[in-house]
Amino acid sequence: MYRPGTLEKKSEIPTVSLFDYWMGVLLAVACGVVNNVGMVLQKKVVNDLPTKAREERFKRSLARNPLWLVGLVLQMVIGSILFVLAQVYIGPALIPGLMAAGLIVLAIGSVRIVGERIGVPEAIGIGLIIFGIVLLGLSGLDIATESYNALDIAFLTRVALFTLTLLLIAVGCALGQRRSVAYRGTLLAIVSGCMFALSNFWIFPLMATIVHVLGFTFIVVELALFVLAAVILVLTNVFGISTIQDSFKVGEASLMVPIQQIPIQVAPAFVYLAVFLLAPPAGVYSLMLLGFGIGFIIISSFLLAKRQAQIQAIK
């Protein structure tokens, strides 16, 4: 990131090289796979624990299990590194969709943990995920974040509007779930999805300012943006996790999990078009690929929802 100047004109916005683009795509897919491999390993260990170990020394038993520790490292360390690297290469627009590749791991992992075979719906869901990811990869909607001026006032205004919009949707759903018993779980799942959509985006401002902040070469605006990003990342993850758990109490987890994915998958398109003001490289063709890719991934989430819910329910 640099400080002077602005990149408001589309003609001035640099593009990512072909190598960097596909490297970012690969890293994002790998991030989704690694995250879910880690979760599957952890859930398998939990599922295999004897009843006595679960009741008396649950956390100690997990901490002493090498397989559970491997899963933790994959999910919290390796996955986080891959996510940040993917952001560096292609920006925040495509990563949430590409990370859906991890749902394939969940579907296959449930076979080993729950003991059920993959049925026709799950097989179709896996196929749709693969197809959706290919479409997202072909859309070419990358963002050259390293050259973007994150301190530009017009850009920060759009960031504020994007953030405020998602927050208002979340607040509206949170208030609505108090009055609607029938849709309480659905509205809570949407709140959770909005929180994680914000979290996925605010990695960019954090990464854009972290070098100067840690190197003590920052200006006041950079420090303020860094602190704000850090606070938002913590709060959105806390509220995102808590609200999806609350939705499980009043709704079927197999339905809540894919509903949660809707804001997560849709928001990056608005980030690309409305926050960064980027023009699709192939015009309507790129937007069609993006739309169909997101659509297939959301549909596949519903088809694989049973398996996701089975694994998520293991505590």
Per-residue pLDDT tens over the stretch 251-275: 776 678 788 889 999 999 999 999 9
Same domain, 179 and 125: no
pLDDT-above-70 percentage for the chain: 90
Q: What is the pLDDT of residue 114?
A: 65
Which residues, 6+ apart, have CB-to-CB distance to 100 below 8 Å?
A: 32, 129, 132, 133, 261, 265, 297, 300, 301
Q: Is residue 250 part of a domain?
A: yes
User: What is the average pLDDT across 30-34?
Assistant: 93
- Let me know whether 190 and 267 are in one domain: yes
Q: Identify the residue with better confidence: 146 or 94.
A: 94
pLDDT in tens, 67-115: 989 988 998 899 989 999 998 888 888 899 999 888 888 788 877 776 6
Looking at residue 176, its pLDDT comes to 93
Residue 209 lies in a domain: yes
Per-residue model confidence as pLDDT tens digits over 205-222: 998 899 889 888 888 999
Quick check: 281 pLDDT over 50? yes
Is residue 112 one of the residues assigned to a domain? yes
Amino acid 193 reads: G
Question: Within this chain, do residues 92 and 53 fall inside the same structural domain, yes or no?
Answer: yes
Query: Which pLDDT does position 166 carry in this prediction?
Result: 97
Region 280-284: mean pLDDT is 85
High-pLDDT (> 90) share of the chain, %: 40
10 compared with 273, residue with greater pLDDT: 273
Q: Identify the band that residue 7 occupies on the pLDDT scale cut at 50, 70 and 90.
A: very low
Q: 229-232: which pairs have CB atoms within 8 A and are 24 or more residues apart?
A: 229/202, 229/203, 229/205, 230/206, 232/163, 232/198, 232/199, 232/202
Q: What is the pLDDT of residue 6?
A: 36
- Is 3 a member of any domain? no
Lowest mean pLDDT among 136-140, 249-253, 260-264, 308-312: 308-312
**pLDDT at residue 270 in the model:** 92
- For the stretch 160-179, pLDDT in tens is 999 999 999 999 999 999 88
Q: Which of 185, 163, 1, 193 is nearest to 96 (CA)?
A: 193
The predicted structure's pLDDT at residue 28: 94
Looking at every residue in the chain, the average pLDDT score rounds to 85
Specify the pLDDT at position 253: 63
Query: Is residue 1 in some structural domain?
Result: no
Per-residue three-class SS string for 61-128? HHHCCHHHHHHHHHHHHHHHHHHHHHHHHHCCCCHHHHHHHHHHHHHHHHHHHCCCCCCHHHHHHHHH
Structural domain contains residue 48? yes
pLDDT at 181 over 60: yes
Q: What is the pLDDT of residue 4?
A: 37
According to the model, what pLDDT value does residue 171 have?
96
**Domain shared by 287 and 233, yes or no:** no
Range of the structural domain that residue 248 is part of: 148-277
Together in a domain, 161 and 266:
yes
pLDDT for residue 11: 40
Q: Are residues 41 and 102 in the same domain?
A: yes
Q: Do 309 and 257 share a structural domain?
A: no
* 138 and 286 fall within a common domain: yes
Query: In this structure, are 259 and 113 located in the same domain?
Result: no
Residue 236 lies in a domain: yes
Whether 98 and 154 map to the same domain: the answer is: no
Residue 131 confidence (pLDDT) above 70: yes
- Domain co-membership, 153 together with 262: yes
Residue 8 lies in a domain: no
User: How many structural domains are present in the chain?
Assistant: 2
Whether residues 138 and 179 share a domain: the answer is no
